[in-house]
A = this chain, B = another copy of it.
Amino acid sequence: MDTIGTHLLVELKACDSKSLNDVSSIERAMHAAASAAGATVVSSQFHNFGPQGVSGVLVLAESHLSVHTWPEHGYAAVDIYTCGPDCEPALAHKLLAEVLKASTVEVLEIKRGLAVATSNDSQGIVSQGIVVGHHSIQHTSLQHTSLQHTPLSVLSDESGESGQGKDRARSRPE
C-alpha cells in the first residue's frame, strides 16, 4: 500500500456559530465530505461538548478526516489526510466550508510518506521527507473577503505527484 499521502490542515474562520454547534449536521457533512473526496469511511465518532463545541473524526480507508469547532469563536479546525492517488481531499474541505458558512478558509498542504522527494527545490519547502507544499487562502462562495495571500510555496501538480505510486488505499478492516 502506498505511504504517500496528502494532509490538508484547514482553518475555517468567521463561520456560522449555530452550524458549528450542530453535531448531527456536522456528522452528515463530514460523511458527505469524505464521499466528495472519494474516500471510504471505516468508522466515525462525534461528540458535542459542553457548553458548546463539536469534535468528530472519521477513520477512512485512506487515513482520516477530523473536525473540531469553537462556536463561540466562529472557528473550526479541519484535517483531511488521504493516502493513495485516488482521492481529492480539497473537495472535502470545500464542502465543509460551505456547510459551516465559513467566510475565510486557510489551507496548509503537507505531503507525507516515505517516497516524498527529499531535495529542497523551488517547488516546495522540503526537509527529510515532509513537504510543506501549498499554503493558500481561499475565499468561499459565501463572502468574497479580501485577504492577503502569503504563500509559503506552491507545489506544482508535477511535484505533488512525485514518487506517488499507483497502489490502492488500504483494504477495509478485517
A residues apposed to B, CB below 8 Å:
1, 3, 5, 7, 9, 11, 13, 42-45, 47-51, 53, 55-57, 59-61, 63-64, 66, 68, 70, 72-73, 75, 77, 79, 81, 83, 106, 108, 110, 112-114, 120, 125, 127-130, 132, 135, 137, 147-152, 170-174
Contacts and interface: CB of A to CB of B under 8 A. Distances in A.
25 contacts: A1-B70, A3-B75, A43-B47, A44-B45, A45-B57, A47-B59, A48-B173, A50-B171, A50-B174, A55-B59, A57-B59, A57-B66, A64-B66, A66-B81, A73-B114, A77-B81, A77-B113, A106-B130, A108-B110, A108-B130, A120-B150, A125-B152, A127-B151, A130-B135, A132-B152
Contacts of A172: 49-50
A95 B56 CA distance: 25
Given A42-B47, A47-B173, A72-B1, A127 B112 contact: no
Nearest to A126: B150
B152 A53 contact: no
- Copies of this chain, complex-wide, total 2
Q: Which 6 A-B pairs have the closest CB atoms?
A: A47-B173, A127-B150, A49-B170, A50-B174, A50-B171, A57-B57
A68 B63 contact: yes
Contacts of A152: 125, 127, 132
Binding site of A, secondary structure by majority: helix, strand, loop or mixed?
strand
A9 B51 contact: no
A51 B81 contact: no
